[in-house]
Every structure is written in C-alpha cells, then in structure tokens.
Structure 1
Amino acid sequence: MATTLLAFFFLFILYFFIQIQPKKPTTANNLPPGSFGWPVLGETLDFQRSRKDGGANKFIRGRIDRYDSPLVFKTSLLGERMAVFCGPEGNKFLFANENKLVVSWWPKAIRSLFGKCLNTSRGYEAKWLRKIMLPYVGPDALSNRYDIVMDVVTRVHIQNQWEGRSEVTVFDTVKPYLFELACLLFISLDDPTHVAKLGSLFNTFLTGIGSLPIDIPGTRFYYGKKATNAIKKQLIMLINQRKQQNASSFEDLLSHDTSAVSITLLMKSLGEHPDVYKNVLKEQMGILEGKAPGEALNWEDIQKMRYSWNVVCEVLRLNPPVIGAFREALVDFEYAGYTIPKGWKIMWSAAMTHKEEDNYPNVTKFDPSRFEGTGPTPFAYVPFGGGPRMCLGKELARMQILVFLHNIVTKFSWDLLIPDEKIEYDPFATPVKGLPIRLHPHKV
C-alpha cells in the first residue's frame, strides 16, 4: 500500500513538472496577502482535504483569519496562482465584470472532460450557446412542455421504487430516476437498457470531474475521459437518428446530478426538522386538495409552493451542491486595494458566502424564514451563481425538486438511519452513505 501511494505521489509531481509551464514573474508589488504554499503543489492538498470535510469553508476561513483579509487572499491551487474572493462584495464584483475584467475558467480536468460546451465557453460563444439552450430549459418550456410529464414520471418512480419498501437509500434511488427523466425530456430516450448504459457512463464521467488530470490507466481522470468520449458518441448517434439539432443534450443530462444532490439534502433536512416537514406537508396537501383525483401538477401549482421553496433555499444555503466556480483575469485590475495580475485565476465560493454570520445571523440554524420578503442581502445567496454565467438550469432544477417534494411528502414521512451523516464534496455535496432512511407511509 505504501509503495502504491509513493508511486502515485511521484507521478503527481512528475505530471505537474511536465504539464505546468513556468509562469512569468509577477511584476505587481501590491498583491493580496497569502501564501503560494509548496513549490509546484501550492496549497492544493489542503484544499482537496477541505472538500472531504464538507466544503471549502475550513480552507478559506482559516486563511481569512490568518491574514486578517476578509475580502481577498492569494494562494496557489491546481498549479495556478489564484486570488480567492470572499463574500457578497467579491461575488458582486466578479458577476458585474464578466467578459470585462474576468472571464470564466475551469481547471484542466474539467476542461478536458467537458470539451467545448456551455460550461467551458467564453464571451460571445457562451452567449450564443445560452440563447440556443434557453428554449429547452426556460419558463416557456417548463410551463408548456415539461410540467405534467415530470409529475407523471415522478409518480411512477415513487410507485415502483418507494412504495412497499421500509428502507430506501435516497441518493442511490433518486439519481437514476432523475437521469431517466432527463433522458426522456431532452433526448426522447426511454429504453431502460440504453438509459442504464448511458447512466453508468455519466457516473464514471462525474467521478473524473473533481480528480487530478493525470491521464494514465487506473486514475479517475483516465476513466472519466473514456466515459466522456463514449457519451458523446451515443448522443451524436441519437441526435442523428432524430435528424435534429439539440445543443442542450449534454448540458441538461449533467443537471440531473446536482438536482439529485439537492433532493437528497432536502430529505435529510426534513428528517432532521420535523416542524419544518409539517409545514411543508401542510402546504403540499393544500395544493393536492385543490385538484381533482389523479390530476397532474402544473406550472401554476409550482408557483404556489412558496414555503416549500424557502425550505429548499435554506437547504442550498447550508450545503450548496457545488462549492463555487473560477474566473481568469483578462487584464491587471485593482480589487479591495490590491492588484490582481492578468492571467491569475480567481475563485469564489458559494459555500463560504452562505456561512458568513454578517449575512446570516445564527448562521448554522436551519431557518427557511430567511427567504421571506426580500430575502438575504444581494449576492449573499449564490447557489446558482450570478450575472451572465448564472446557471441556465435554475428553473428546471426548481421544478424537478418541487415536483418530487410534493409527491414524496404527500405519501411518506421518514426517519434518518444515520443521524448527522457526514457530507463531502466528491465532486458534489453528498452524504457519504447516500442517506439511508426508514419510510412511514401516511395512513389513508
């Protein structure tokens, strides 16, 4: 075992010496406080460990306190010199200066696995791709095309996978259902065998996203890259069979995983807070009572789920599915009195922003009322990002989560089989055991 670890560590060092080109010396003499850490490795290992501990909070908070710099500090991650922007002020600055001072950037593993798509596109190309995709995931598509289908598919799933069972592992059960739903909605694929094969490839692809980009057999990245190529071949084949362009296929299929994470964390929170569960159930039963027996949910019903959505928002505040995102400086610019050099990478963190006491008094308390009225301070709640790069699938995710929530709470209550189950980011926020629960069907 020790020999294997030593070999991988050697390969890790060798990879970065080969792949990372020497950076030009930084001429700016007013850099943010911080440390670049170890040669080559920087502070990457500390950052990766923090993801296993539930997010980037420990990594970022420790450096904010160490350097007494609440707005920005410098570090070196993933072979890049990087500035970490903190809090609503940093989010606002980055979102407002997209394609002006900064542009979207992702680590090499993500760029290699995604290839050329909306996630990795920049500038005009990104705007063009978002325009193409909007008809598939915007409010018009959701209200006119997907609402009833989503409800019917969800009912069938709960009937087949939940009813009659005493225990269920939530993430493992919800994830394939949402993938099947995405296949049906976006590529009209309903063949169970084909869906299962594609789903297996996507799971392999997703494990490669958060990995180091070491392209040798045995690594997550190697298998993720192979899975990516296989997925694209299958999607191209399906699109050609239908003789139509569907630019959203790859992106929308990816959105199923963050929705699965959100639903899992939602059920965890409702299991931990029975008073909140009762209020959600009351709202959802009110919607059910206003409909004819067997009548499907529609767009108007979703808009009535105000308290339920506040609960979801509080879940996403405490554990945003994705830690945050990255940018690249297009030019030298000043921020918070410091110089950010051209070419530097910038990280912002939803997970850190959502845990700041200044924005959320009694920050660790689960409190859906934070989202009543005008809600949190602007740019203090950013699970979907913001500005020109705001997540295009936000409304789709909202509908998926609320439709599932309606159908599950009107049929069951549940107990958590592992109280205080640990959450880790790999690459998305997920309970380490997948959230096993004991179901209690409502008495008819």
Structure 2
Amino acid sequence: MDAFLPYAIPLLLLLLPLSTLYLISFMRKKGSGNKNLPPGTRGWPVLGENMELALLGQQKFVKNRMEKYSPDVFQTSLFGERMAVFCGAQGNKFLFTNDNKLLTSWSPKTMTKTFLFTEFVDSSNLKQVTAVRRSFQYDILKPESLKQYIPVMDALAREHMDREWTPNALVNVVPLSKKYTFDLACKLFLDVVDVEDIKRLSDPFSLATQGMLGVPINLPGMAYNRAIRGGKMIRKELIRIINERRKKLLEKKETRHQDLLSKMLLVTDENGQFYSEMEISNNIVGFLVASFDATSSAVSSVINYLAHLPHIYEQVLKEQMEIAKSKGPDELLTWEDIQKMKYSWNVARESLRLGPSSQGGFRETTTEFTYAGFTIPKGWKTHWTVHSSHRNPEYFPEPEKFDPSRFDGSGPPPYTFVPFGGGPRMCPGREYAKLEILVFMHNVVRRFKLEKAIPNEPVDGLAVHLQPHEN
C-alpha cells in the first residue's frame, strides 16, 4: 500500500557501500552554529531517512519521531533535502496560514523530473499558476461545470460496472478504481476516449507514480529509474495529443471541445502569446497524476471500509437506494441527487481520515522563522502530514474506530481533518473528487453486496467478493 515500498529492497542493497560514510556522519542531529534547530536526525548520508520511511510507512515514521523528538516539529532528511516536519493541528494551521508569507510551493525533484519538462519549471512557474487557475480552477471546476460532470461521471461508472464488475464474482478494486478515475480524467480533461490512447498514457503512469517519491538515484533496478522512463513516455504521448488538437483547432475542424486541453490551447500569456506544447503538458499532467493516484486511492479506501463493515454498508445502501428509487431506470444522477448523499459523504470522509489518499504536502521556507521555540532556516523544506492529526486521540476520540458521526454538525475542529490540505494551496479539485467518490459509491452499492476476500488485507489490490442484489 505504501508508495515507498517498491524501492525498499534496492535501498537495502545500497547500505554496504555507504557503511563507511555512515560511520563518519552517524545520526547527525543538528546543523552548525548556535541556532536552536528542531530535534531529529538526518539519517544516512545521501539516503537520509528515506529507507526508514520506506520500511515503516509514513504513519509509523511520523508517530515514532513525534514521540522521540517533539510532538510539534522535528527535522529529518528526505528526497535529498533538509526538512522540518510540522505536526498536529497547530502545525497544519501554521503552514497553511503562512503560505505566500513565510513559505512557497515546493515539490521533490523526483516528482518534477519524472513528470515535467524541467526547462520550463522555473522560468514559467508564474505563467503555469496563472494558466491553471484561469483555465481550470475558475472555469473547469466552477459549480456550473461540476454540475455538468455528474451525468458524465454516472454514465461512465455504469459502463465501467457493466464491463469490469458485473461479469465477475471477485474483483481487485484498486486497479479497477484507477481505471475508472483515469478514464474519466482523460475524457473530461483531454476528450480522449479511445481505449488504446488511454492505455498509452495509463501504462507509463503506473511506472511513474510508483517511483516518483523514490530516492533520487537513477540506476537500473531503482524505482526512480522506472519512474523517469515512465515520465518520458507520458510526456511524449501528451505532446502528440496536444499537437493533434492544436492542428484541428487551427484548421477549425474542432469547435465543440470545452475540456481543459482546448481551453489551455486558447489561453494566452501577458504578451498575447499562446503557450507551448511543453508548458501545456506541464500544466495538465498534475491533474492526471491526481486522478490516477490520489482520487483512485480515495475511491479504493471507501470501498475497503464498505466491504469490511457491513453495518456501515447497509446504511449507505439504504440512502443510495432511496435516491435510485426516485429516478427512472435510465435516468442519470444529478446535482440534486448528490446533495441527498449526506451519510455517504460522512462515510467517505471517515474513510479519508483513516485511509487518506494523500500523505501530506511540502513547502519551502522563504525566510527564517521560529516555531514552537525552534528555528527553521531559510531554504529548508517543510512537510505537513495527515497522520499527525487524523489519528490523534486529542482530536478524534478512539481514533482507530470507524465512526462517520464524527462529521455530523460542524464536524471535527479546524485543521484536524486535512485530506485535501488547506490554505491558498488547498487542492482545487476537492469538490471534483467528492463528486467522483459519491457517484462511484452509488453505482457499486446499488448493484452489489461486498465482502473482502482477505479480511485483514491492506489496500494493495483489495480483492472483494461481489454478490449482486436480487431485483
């Protein structure tokens, strides 16, 4: 389940040649000078604490260091960077409210080098943000657009169920949820619906996402090496799609498209120039990554708990069948139907609390500051993590218990439930993800009773027995 496991074994093989260096700089804890840096360790030379993160998983990694060093903030070294990990609701609040003040956006180099044309990352960063917000957040994700997506999501979900679920008594949920969310993203963002065209994108995405947070060592056998190869294939295919669409637009053979790609092709910068194919690819790929990885993970997490907890499933089924009975057999879901799925959304949120689709996010400090009595130097990377608050009994009593009622009324305290981040950089696709999750839940539960094939199986493949409802 953990994204870091694919490169855990290669990391172990690197230990022997690094052992001498390790003895020299064993467990370095603080930098030079008199600054009161956060407690912690920078781990192994070159590797930092990536290996420990891979072996423990992020939840245990963060919990162990909070107990050993500080419940507020600790230092580590990940992805080749000196990093301060902020913990709990106060840590979340500090980072979210100081975005664009003390902090700026940052992503691990392994991610940017995997997916982006890096020659445009620095020079066009501002243009990218402007284009994305104007073309996507303020247009593609505005309420009017979201309402129009619901019937499309429902229609595709029905086709997906007919083709991939109904013929089988046993399904592996994780790969199927990836297929559904990615197929939908290709349709809505790129207007790509051909099976082979989608496959030319989805196959390399599997390589890329498995190694995008790997140790930045580009050697055969390493997850990062596979990610780099996958990223090259993704960019090549995106450029082909972009060029074909641009040609059709210029020849005025395409006039009906209102997807993200068409809007990007028609957007100009402050000088009235159209964006290049590589800049457009850089803008689009992030949304595809989110659909392939984060949104599909959220869908899988929800199905996992529905299959594991029959009493929760029955309540969701009751709510969804009331909606289904109010509609004709071929009538697609609407915005009004989604508003009736209150209990289902509480179940989805509790699933995201216990099985988050994202582990957190990163920032870079733009100035030196003090937090919880510790100095955070300029240029350090920071990390907020869902696990330091989502399973904290101070915020969520009996944190391991699945209890959708936590979200009744006003819900949890601010900055404790952060599956989509917060502040200026809160995930702009959170409402889109909500719709996608609820539409998928509706189509699964109204067709099947679910039972996990392996009761305590982690959400890796998630094998689930299907028992169709009697008509």
Q: Is TM-score (shorter-chain normalized) higher than 0.5?
A: yes
Aligned to 1:412: 448
Q: Tell me, yes or no, if structure 1 residue 44 matches structure 2 residue 50.
A: yes
Q: Distance in 2 between matches of 1:299 and 1:199?
A: 29
Q: Tell me, yes or no, if structure 1 residue 30 matches structure 2 residue 36.
A: yes
Q: 1:342-375: CA deviations, max 9, x gaps?
A: 1111111012210100000011000000011110
Paired residues for 1:198-347 under 5 Å: 198-243=201-246, 244-246=262-264, 247=280, 249-256=284-291, 257-347=293-383
Aligned to 2:466: 439
Q: CA distance change for structure 1 residues 122 and 249 in 2, over 3 Å: closer, same or farther?
A: closer
In the alignment, is the contact (CA less than 8 A) between 2:97 and 2:423 conserved in 1?
A: yes
Aligned to 2:166: 163
Task: Pick one of 167, 177, 181 that aligns with 1:178.
Answer: 181
Q: CA distance change for structure 1 residues 13 and 197 in 2, over 3 Å: closer, same or farther?
A: farther
Q: Tell me, yes or no, if structure 1 residue 136 matches structure 2 residue 137.
A: no
Q: Which amino acid aligns with 1:411?
A: R
Tell me by how many angstroms 1:26 deviates: 4.4
Q: CA distance change for structure 1 residues 376 and 208 in 2, over 3 Å: closer, same or farther?
A: same
Q: Tell me, yes or no, if structure 1 residue 148 matches structure 2 residue 151.
A: yes
Secondary structure of 2:77's aligned partner: strand
Aligned to 2:385: 349
> RMSD of the TM alignment (CA)?
2.7
Q: CA distance change for structure 1 residues 4 and 205 in 2, over 3 Å: closer, same or farther?
A: closer
Q: CA distance change for structure 1 residues 264 and 30 in 2, over 3 Å: closer, same or farther?
A: same
Q: 1:264-311: CA deviations, max 9, x gaps?
A: 111110112111111111111111122122100012211211110000
Q: Which amino acid aligns with 1:217?
A: P
Task: Pick one of 60, 63, 66 that aligns with 1:61.
Answer: 63
Q: 1:96-132: CA deviations, max 9, x gaps?
A: 1112111122222112113269999867853553333
Q: 1:195-234: CA deviations, max 9, x gaps?
A: 1222111111112212112223332222222221221222
Q: Tell me, yes or no, if structure 1 residue 104 matches structure 2 residue 139.
A: no
In the alignment, is the contact (CA less than 8 A) between 1:412 and 1:442 conserved in 2?
A: yes
Secondary structure of 2:301's aligned partner: helix
Q: Distance in 1 between matches of 2:182 and 2:406?
A: 31
In the alignment, is the contact (CA less than 8 A) between 1:281 and 1:410 conserved in 2?
A: yes
Q: Distance in 2 between matches of 1:119 and 1:290?
A: 50
Q: Distance in 1 between matches of 2:347 and 2:236?
A: 40
Q: Distance in 1 between matches of 2:327 and 2:99?
A: 45
Q: Which amino acid aligns with 1:259?
A: T
Secondary structure of 1:73's aligned partner: strand
Aligned to 2:408: 372
Tell me by how many angstroms 1:25 deviates: 5.7
TM-score normalised to the size of structure 1? 0.88
Tell me by how many angstroms 1:33 deviates: 2.2
Tell me by how many angstroms 1:11 deviates: 7.6
Q: Distance in 1 between matches of 2:46 and 2:94?
A: 29
TM-score normalised to the size of structure 2? 0.83
Aligned pair count?
420
Secondary structure of 1:83's aligned partner: strand
Greater CA drift, 380-389 or 344-353: 344-353
Q: Percent identity among equivalent residues?
A: 42
Q: CA distance change for structure 1 residues 354 and 345 in 2, over 3 Å: closer, same or farther?
A: same
Task: Pick one of 186, 191, 215 that aligns with 1:188.
Answer: 191
Q: Distance in 2 between matches of 1:97 and 1:269?
A: 35
Q: CA distance change for structure 1 residues 253 and 79 in 2, over 3 Å: closer, same or farther?
A: closer
* Structure 1: runs of 5+ lacking an equivalent: 17-23, 423-430
Q: Distance in 1 between matches of 2:71 and 2:21?
A: 34
Q: CA distance change for structure 1 residues 394 and 221 in 2, over 3 Å: closer, same or farther?
A: same
Q: 1:237-272: CA deviations, max 9, x gaps?
A: 212222245355322222222222112111110112
Task: Pick one of 114, 117, 129 that aligns with 1:126.
Answer: 129
Q: Which amino acid aligns with 1:334?
A: T
Tell me by how many angstroms 1:6 deviates: 7.5
Greater CA drift, 203-212 or 276-285: 203-212
Secondary structure of 1:440's aligned partner: strand
Q: 1:39-71: CA deviations, max 9, x gaps?
A: 4433332122122xxxx221222122223x221
In the alignment, is the contact (CA less than 8 A) between 1:183 and 1:195 conserved in 2?
A: yes
Secondary structure of 1:89's aligned partner: helix
